[in-house]
A and B are shown apart, each in its own frame.
Chain A
Amino acid sequence: MSLSGDVEVTVGTFEQRLRLDVADGEVVAVLGPNGSGKTTLLRTLAGLQPLSGGRIELDGVVLDDPVAKVLVPPERRPCGMVFQDYLLFPHLTAVANVAFGPRSRGVAKADAMRTAVEWLDRMGLADKAEAKPRQLSGGEAQRVALARALATDPRLLLLDEPMAALDAGIRGSVRHQLRHDLRAFLGSCVMVTHDPLDAAAIADRLFIIEAGRLVQQGTLQEVTSRPRTEYVAQLMGLNLLRGRADGASLVLADGTTLETAGPFAGEMFAVIAPRDIALYLDPPAGSPRNTWSTEVAEVHLLGDRARVLLGAPIRVTAEITAVAIAELGLTEGAPVWASVKATQIDVYRADDH
């Protein structure tokens, strides 16, 4: 293990308590809703926010341990950070920004400049060396910020929303490039994001926090197939229900019953993919075990698909084609019949991890 973090921190009324271990060469994406403590976590790792309990170790060296009264200040941690909005020093050129780290760590000016030029060259930005930050595009600024963080030869790389400041149009190519750059990085990397696409493209593992606690972690595949909170399910575009199973029946909190491919017993989660929910104007006949009458709460068009939010009794989202929306004449408030096959409801235990 390269990074071993047992993080306990209190900032005002916000309290964070979680354990994060990252191996050498591993990229972990930290996801969570606003205010869940993603940036706070990065700040504790960088030393900008001291722990109130627990312990952070990097390569076996203790960086922060309040009980042992150890706190390595940020400037002496082998830790590079790409800040949100990049925070390139506006009065320095791109190359001077990249050379800032080595110079601050005692490298002679000429050598630091040479290192900086090499890094910019590696990033394909050799021709931007003399540009001031305000003359760089968003993608270029992000790569200068990454070069600046890597030029200090860190063992731990922290990325705080590296894509958030970019236009949607260039995100794809920048994401691809970032993945390529991070592959060459041998230390541990923690990236904060709220975009599952970034996480899926760049990270080896997803680490999902809510209200300062870890709620779920694993590969994208693991998290997608077994979401454990409403936030995770929404992130992955899935419907998550919770209830008590008795044989093949799953009784939801409000008493509604779903028929599943059971038998199961105890507290269970049920996941339904939106495209597995079918909508009809008249009561459907035939095989589906679960059929109920409801009304349309909201309709969102996404290209040739449409997501239809359904009202009581089971508030789930169905995904159908935009053509079907027109054919069925679905608008907000319209009555509709919904159905889902028992075999398309994925059921798993809710009370263990």
Chain B
Amino acid sequence: MATRTRSLRPPLLVMIFATVTVVFLAIPLIGLLTKASWSTLWSDLTNPVAVDALKLSLICSLWATGLSLVLGVPLAWVLARTDFPGRNLIRALTVLPMVLPPVVGGVALLLAFGRDGILGRPLYDWFGVQFTFSTAGAVLAETFVAMPFLIITVEAALRSMDTRYEEAAANLGAGRWTTFRRVSLPMIAPSLVAGTALTWARALGEFGATITFAGDIQGRTQTLPLAVYLALQENEHVAVALSLALLAISIVVLVSLRGRWLGAINP
């Protein structure tokens, strides 16, 4: 017997707007592809500036992702599982970097961790640690901007998790740390992976806070987005080549996520 499905034909107006949206999103990518100078692509991507930017971007974004995991997951747990005065204030604080213009974030970081910053000055005077114009500064800027994505995703997952599983673990003799490690974390694994990927993608694309706070030094703080912006003013085809590299990385992440993890959240 043939299966009959009711065809869902959207209203005309909806169709028009949906089409406009697709065109709007696709045109810039098409522009990127058509403007690319394919013959010089390889040499553009292998020149020292590009290689340095690519390497630095990977290193900084991975560090930022790691830091976000180590610092963000515990905070997500505290926000999801405990109740204390000022919790909503802290939650607002963690989301702030998402809504703040990254340049403002960079200025704020400069005032806190710069050479004359409230924390930066003692750090420099006592330990000789300097974040500005250093790779550590780029990592710091990326972490500041990207970590909220992880906190929000993990907190939401912990909230929607059935806490009776944690009670079952306690009943079986597991302390709070064991319960967290062997029950809570594995049970929110899909969200944890999705949040990690989002965080990494955000860190990889970070521009404003990095250039404001860490500066723009090749091999030290000049990540891919910074290199793209600078190349655009000198030779456009290098900028396009670097943009294509970023685009390729993003597509790989999106495709692998959709198949394996986003599906697990919304079956």
A interface residues (Cβ-Cβ under 8 A, vs B): 46-48, 73-77, 79-81, 83, 87, 89-92, 100-101, 104-105, 148-149, 152
Contact = CB atoms under 8 A, between A and B. Distances in A.
Contacts of B173: 75-76, 101, 104-105, 152
11 contacts: A46-B171, A48-B170, A79-B171, A81-B171, A83-B164, A91-B189, A104-B169, A104-B175, A104-B182, A149-B171, A149-B172
A19 to B, nearest CB: 23
A46 B170 CA distance: 10
Contacts of A48: 167, 170-171
Contact of B168 (A47, A77, A87, A91): A87
Nearest to A48: B167
* Closest 5 A/B residue pairs (Cβ): A101-B172, A104-B174, A104-B173, A105-B173, A74-B170
A183 B170 CA distance: 26
Nearest to A85: B164
A250 B47 CA distance: 105
A74 B183 contact: no
A91 B169 CA distance: 13
Contacts of B38: none
Contacts of A79: 171
B178 interface: yes
B254 to A, nearest CB: 25
B101 interface: no
A169 B170 CA distance: 33
B186 interface: yes
A100 B174 contact: yes
Contacts of B182: 100, 104
Contact of A75 (B175, B186, B187): B175
A148 B172 contact: yes
A74 B167 CA distance: 8
A134 B164 CA distance: 17
B143 to A, nearest CB: 29
A104 B178 contact: yes
Interface string B242-264: 00000000000000000000000
Interface in B154-176: 162, 164-165, 167-175
Interface string B52-76: 0000000000000000000000000
Nearest to A154: B171
A90 B189 CA distance: 12
B154 to A, nearest CB: 16
B165 A87 contact: yes
Given A75-B174, A100-B182, A81 B169 contact: no
Contacts of B187: 89-91
Contacts of A47: 170
B55 to A, nearest CB: 36
Interface in B176-211: 178, 182-183, 186-187, 189
Given A75-B175, A100-B182, A104-B178, A89 B170 contact: no
A73 B178 CA distance: 14
A149 B178 CA distance: 17
A81 B173 CA distance: 11
B21 to A, nearest CB: 38
A47 B167 CA distance: 10
B168 A73 contact: no
A87 to B, nearest CB: 4
